[in-house]
Amino acid sequence: MREKWRPSFPICIWENISTLGSSPHSETAPLRWKCYDCGGRLIMEVTINIESLYGDVAKLERAEGYIEQAKKLAGEGNQVVLTGRGPVWFYLLIAHALHGKAKRLIYFSPVTGPVLIYDHDPF
């Protein structure tokens, strides 16, 4: 019998805990989720639609404000998923800013699916 394939990081989201003041039905709502990894451990996953951070046009001169928003949404020690339309420089700034705050950072797009950027979970 073949062993069932298991992903190296959680990709299934099980239960919405809160919406941080945003409508859960909004495409731009940053959401906090409760999910479980392959070993059954409870972890917190925060999905940040980066387009919700900047609105119509991302401006480099407002980068510090965007970074502070992302840090506030990400929290400490959570798994963070970045998604949404945005310039490459914006994704790079946010990913760098979350290093040391996020246990695991994942990029998600409908084309690629989940892409692990970094994983600092010792388990």
* Domain residue extents for the chain: 15-119
pTM of the predicted model as reported, rounded to 2 decimal places: 0.68
What's the half-sphere exposure (Cβ side, CA atoms, 13 Å) at 38?
8
First to last CA, the chain: 27
Dihedral angle, C-alpha 75, 115, 65, 71, nearest 10 °: 10
Closest CA to 120 of 107, 108, 106: 106
CA angle 55, 31, 47 (to 5 degrees): 80
pLDDT tens-place values along the chain, 123 residues long: 444 434 444 444 434 444 444 433 344 444 445 555 555 666 788 999 999 999 889 999 999 999 999 999 999 999 999 999 999 999 999 999 999 999 999 999 999 999 999 998 876
